[in-house]
């Protein structure tokens, strides 16, 4: 992982890539995580496999939005000190909290079923594509701010 690669992430290019992944059949979590994977030093295929169960709000259960989960996964990869030195959780949680709080402020919730409007006569709060684009933007903002803070 390179801080420079994170700092060079381009919002528009990443959102375009995430939409291309979605059109190829990736789920929401995969679209976000695989878009960020090269910049954070992860293999796209491995990331795809790791994130497969997170789409549709955790395996279609419509709980936490998969796009948010994909963004949080990237944060964990960037911030973790690894299994031999498990001391980085609080730093990771702080960045994950920032991402979730921003997503919720922007969209009203992080819950997939609420975003999709399931059971709500008023309809969806946000489309899946919108959630993916928002999660990509927020992840880039938070990861870049963290990279700058570490300089």
**pLDDT at residue 3 greater than cutoff 80:** yes
**pLDDT at residue 2 greater than cutoff 90:** no
55-109 pLDDT, tens digit per residue, is: 999 999 999 999 999 999 999 999 999 999 899 999 999 999 999 999 999 999 9
Confidence (pLDDT) at 150? 75
* Mean pLDDT (the chain, rounded): 96
Confidence (pLDDT) at 1? 63
Q: What is the DSSP string of 58-120?
A: HTTS--B-HHHHHHHHHHHHHH---TTS---HHHHHHHHHHHHHHHHHHHS-SBHHHHHTTT-
**Can you give the pTM of this predicted structure?**
0.96
Confidence (pLDDT) at 151? 67
Other Cβ atoms closer than 10 A to 39: 21
Q: Hey, what are 16's tokens?
A: 């375009």
């Amino acid at each position: 992982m390179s801080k420079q690669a994170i700092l060079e992430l381009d919002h528009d290019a990443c959102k375009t890539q995430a939409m291309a992944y979605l059109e190829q059949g990736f789920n929401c979590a995969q679209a976000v995580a695989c878009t960020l994977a090269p910049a954070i030093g992860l293999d796209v295929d491995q990331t795809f496999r790791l994130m497969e169960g997170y789409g549709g709000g955790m395996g279609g259960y419509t709980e936490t939005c998969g796009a948010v989960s994909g963004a949080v996964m990237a944060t964990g990869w960037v911030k973790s000190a690894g299994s031999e030195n498990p001391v980085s959780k609080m730093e990771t949680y702080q960045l994950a909290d920032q991402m979730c709080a921003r997503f919720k402020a922007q969209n009203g919730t992080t819950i997939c079923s609420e975003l999709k409007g399931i059971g709500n006569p008023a309809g969806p709060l946000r489309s899946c594509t919108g959630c993916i684009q928002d999660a990509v933007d927020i992840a880039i903002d938070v990861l870049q701010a963290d990279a700058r803070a570490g300089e």
